[in-house]
Amino acid sequence: IGEAAQSMDCEYLLMLDDDMIINPDVTSGPDASYGFLERLIAHEKDIIGALYYTKGGACSPVLMTKSSERGYRFLRDPEITHGLQRVDVAGGGCLLVKMTVFDKVLPPYFAPEFEFGTDVQLCRKAAELGIEVWADTSIELGHLKAERTIVTSRNRHHVQVEDQVPGEVKRTFVSPDLYDRLVADAIEWTGFRDLDEMT
């Protein structure tokens, strides 16, 4: 996809998954949400994404921060500013990339997703070259579930079912923040540096 965009002399590459819902409130006719692309372009960032939530598990915001040398974690609700903010990874479901990024990042731009998704791959390579990753979290897209449920910030706590716990044990939590607080307490109590070491 990067090479195709280069061959067509594009200025930007927009990665937009087919299960992204631009107008999750489903109003009749277009509304301001359809101007999301112009808003992303106006920020003039090399890599910028929007806010959307995973459509399964804990329904986490698909924006990440580094949690260890090679690992990442989803941002927590209090970390979402609902404005322009720096992140380590913006979700590939809606990601706008200036084509000049592909002049600096060496091909192959995307490898098979054995370890990391395409969004993590690109954002990691960019960060290693000093390219910043941003998200406009005032722009929120819905994420369509297979059973035609649109996940947004207003309903995600009703939709989430299970959160993956280390050791492949699954438990149901009232909210992902509760799980995160429990993990943070356990790390502090045991004296480990992070979740990987504790696990």
* Pairwise CA distance, residues 118 & 124, whole Å: 10
Single pTM value for the model: 0.74
Residue range 48-93, pLDDT digits in tens: 999 999 988 889 999 999 988 778 999 999 999 999 999 999 999 9
Report the amino acid identity of residue 70.
Answer: R
- Show the tokens assigned to 5: 């965009």
- In this prediction, residue 161 carries a pLDDT of 59
Least confident segment among 21-35, 85-99, 158-172: 158-172
Average pLDDT, stretch 28-46? 92
Q: Which span out of 2-11, 75-84, 102-111 was modeled with the highest average pLDDT?
A: 75-84
- In this prediction, residue 65 carries a pLDDT of 95
To the nearest 10°, report the CA torsion of 7, 10, 15, 19. Answer: -100
Rg of the chain (C-alpha set): 18
Least confident segment among 99-103, 140-144, 162-166: 162-166
Q: Which of 134, 151, 128, 152 is nearest to 96 (CA)?
A: 134
User: pLDDT category, 165, cuts 50, 70, 90?
Assistant: very low
* Of 199 and 98, the one with more pLDDT: 98
